[in-house]
Amino acid sequence: MMISIILFAILLIVGSTFFFLNSKKIRRNILLGKDISITDNRGERLKVMTLVAFGQKKMFARPIPAILHLFLYAAFVITQVELLEIIFDGLSGHHRAFRALLGGFYTFVLSFIEILSVLAFVGTIAFLSRRNLLKVPRLVKSELNGWPKLDANLILIGELTLLCFICMMNGADEVLYARGASHAQNLGDGSLGLAVTSHLGPLLFGGLSTETLHIVERVGWWGHIIIVFAFLNYLPFSKHLHILLAFPNTFFSNLKPKGQFKNLFEVTDVVKPNFDPSYQPVLDPNAHIKFGAKDVMDLNWKQLLDAYSCTECGRCTAACPQNITGKALSPRKIMMDTRDRLVEVGKNIDANKGTFVDDGKSLLGDYIKHEEIWACNTCNACVQECPVNIDPLAIIMDLRQQLVLEQSSAPNELNGMFTNLENNGAPWQFSPADRANWIHEQ
């Protein structure tokens, strides 16, 4: 018994420590972005987070995958109750310690968890089928080739394995209780009475010897907790990090009307004295000012949080009119590229003892091509569709500003418009004096 407690304590400490260290790196990477203050409308932000992250509101624009996802999401949230008992049992050497305390309510909670687990099993099989058999179009785009596809399948297979271990643990325990041979003592009527495994356990394990049942139950118990800690430490390297980051990401959502772009303070500070003589410029006129974003460090921390929160569901790309018509733009790829570059920068910092050493690469050019960002028509369809309120358009606009204001690089059509704006005060190629001549036309 003592060896089991020690092994569990080591697993708990090591697993939690690695997760904490990897979480610190992710936080460090996000804070590489420019600092911005998002402290307004706290009540509205809590409402958005509750409805969108916790309530899965935007998922239900597509009812079938939303319901399937709800099965997995509800099972994930509610099973944490059982996980608390497993951790307590592991550290104390008890078995089902909460049952004596909670009585019938314990049976109700675990039965509810089992029903959710069955629904989660159905949902997991459905999601594996949608990706690998049905090949839903938004789930087989080119940006998902390689690791992204493997990542999604690994998680789904891991969930199936976890559910099987839970079935082994509870099912074998049901048979052991019926035989009066469970690890626990003095727990009442000798039956757990769980909704699913009280029937499934005897069917699967009823013919096994008591010694074999003890082994099956322990394999299920240890397998369950090992999968949980493996999943916990896999999250920082997976798109499934959105399970945790969806909450802060939706809390810090952009609450302004879609289509409202921010003015560049660097430009306003120079131009405003022409309209308001009392205005005193803030920026040093001799300082070098950088416009837009070339690399991830030029984006703000919320945009980097967006990148880490991306679920790779592809709803943004499926709704993008430019992608639908065959253009190079994929909003999902924009977010994935941003995250990949940020991870690369983080590894660079780790390898160089906390300092970033120029690697000759950048987000703009090496990861995201000019053709992609100029394809965007700023319709905000991607922003509207995202189930966790990610804003790919904000990154696209910052990359565009870099090209136009820093590199003087824009498509010929836009260069003509810029020239007309500068010379004529309008996008059209005629003087301001002629702009109203159309009223004289017959």
Domain CATH code at residue 279: 1.10.1060
Whether residue 94 is predicted with pLDDT greater than 90 in this model: the reply is no
Are 276 and 234 part of one and the same domain? Answer: no
Are 208 and 337 part of one and the same domain? Answer: no
Q: For residues 78 and 113, is the Cβ–Cβ distance under 8 A?
A: yes
Are 154 and 298 part of one and the same domain? Answer: no
The reported pTM is 0.91
Q: How many other C-beta atoms lie within 10 A of the C-beta of residue 9?
A: 12
Mean pLDDT of 370-383: 95
Confidence grade of residue 190 (pLDDT, cut at 50, 70, 90): low
Q: For residues 253 and 392, is the Cβ–Cβ distance under 8 A?
A: no
Are 75 and 154 part of one and the same domain? Answer: yes
Instruction: Tell me whether residue 419 is in a domain.
Output: yes
Instruction: Tell me whether residue 97 is in a domain.
Output: yes
Are 280 and 401 part of one and the same domain? Answer: yes
Confidence grade of residue 215 (pLDDT, cut at 50, 70, 90): very high
Are 138 and 13 part of one and the same domain? Answer: yes
Mean pLDDT of 61-70: 92
Please give the pLDDT value at position 154. 95
> Rounded to whole angstroms, how far apart are CA atoms 441 and 87?
82
Tens of pLDDT, residues 16-46:
999 999 999 999 999 999 999 999 999 999 9
Are 67 and 142 part of one and the same domain? Answer: yes
Q: What six digits make up the tokens of 327? A: 């253009």
Q: How many other C-beta atoms lie within 10 A of the C-beta of residue 395?
A: 27
Are 218 and 322 part of one and the same domain? Answer: no
Please give the pLDDT value at position 265. 86
Mean pLDDT of the chain: 91
> Rounded to whole angstroms, how far apart are CA atoms 376 and 227?
42
> Rounded to whole angstroms, how far apart are CA atoms 232 and 226?
10
Where b means 16+ CB within 10 Å and e means fewer, 233-247 reads bbbbebbbbbbbbbb
Q: Where do the H-state alpha helices sit in 179-300?
A: 197-205, 210-234, 242-251, 265-271
How wide is the angle at C-alpha 317 spanned by C-alphas 390 and 119, nearest 5°? 75
Please give the pLDDT value at position 149. 95
Helix (H) / strand (E) containing 53? none
Please give the pLDDT value at position 332. 98
Q: Which residue has the tokens 């009392």?
A: 278
Classify residue 266 as exposed, middle or buried by CB count within 10 Å of its CB (0-12, 13-18, 19+): middle
Instruction: Tell me whether residue 246 is in a domain.
Output: no
Picking from 191, 224, 240, the residue at the C-terminal end of a domain is: 240
Q: For residues 286 and 400, is the Cβ–Cβ distance under 8 A?
A: no
Please, which residues bridge with residue 300 across strands? 34
Tens of pLDDT, residues 334-357:
999 999 999 999 999 999 999 999
Report the percent of the chain where pLDDT is more than 70.
Answer: 98
Instruction: Tell me whether residue 253 is in a domain.
Output: no
Picking from 240, 257, 286, the residue at the C-terminal end of a domain is: 240
> Rounded to whole angstroms, how far apart are CA atoms 298 and 399?
9
Name which residue leads in pLDDT, 278 or 182. 278
Tens of pLDDT, residues 271-294:
888 888 899 888 888 888 888 999
Are 228 and 279 part of one and the same domain? Answer: no
Confidence grade of residue 95 (pLDDT, cut at 50, 70, 90): confident
Mean pLDDT of 40-57: 95
Instruction: Tell me whether residue 167 is in a domain.
Output: yes
Mean pLDDT of 78-105: 86
How wide is the angle at C-alpha 34 spanned by C-alphas 273 and 369, nearest 5°? 100
Whether residue 140 is predicted with pLDDT greater than 90 in this model: the reply is yes
Name which residue leads in pLDDT, 442 or 127. 127
Are 192 and 291 part of one and the same domain? Answer: no
Please give the pLDDT value at position 287. 82
Name which residue leads in pLDDT, 248 or 262. 248
Q: Could you tell me the residue range of the domain that residue 325 belongs to?
A: 265-430
Please, which residues bridge with residue 367 across strands? none
Picking from 224, 240, 256, the residue at the C-terminal end of a domain is: 240
Instruction: Tell me whether residue 43 is in a domain.
Output: no
Tens of pLDDT, residues 388-438:
999 999 999 999 999 999 998 988 888 888 888 888 878 887 777 777 777
Please give the pLDDT value at position 15. 95
Q: For residues 429 and 420, is the Cβ–Cβ distance under 8 A?
A: yes
Are 233 and 294 part of one and the same domain? Answer: no
Query: What's the structural domain count of the chain?
Result: 2
Q: Which residue has the tokens 């009527």?
A: 189
Q: What six digits make up the tokens of 349? A: 């910092």
Are 361 and 292 part of one and the same domain? Answer: yes
Please give the pLDDT value at position 266. 85
> Rounded to whole angstroms, how far apart are CA atoms 121 and 111?
15
Side-chain half-sphere CA neighbours of 238 within 13 A: 20
Tens of pLDDT, residues 99-113:
878 878 888 999 999
Please give the pLDDT value at position 33. 96
Mean pLDDT of 177-204: 80
Confidence grade of residue 267 (pLDDT, cut at 50, 70, 90): confident
Mean pLDDT of 126-134: 95
Instruction: Tell me whether residue 258 is in a domain.
Output: no
Instruction: Tell me whether residue 46 is in a domain.
Output: no
Q: Where do the H-state alpha helices sit in 258-320?
A: 265-271, 301-309, 315-319
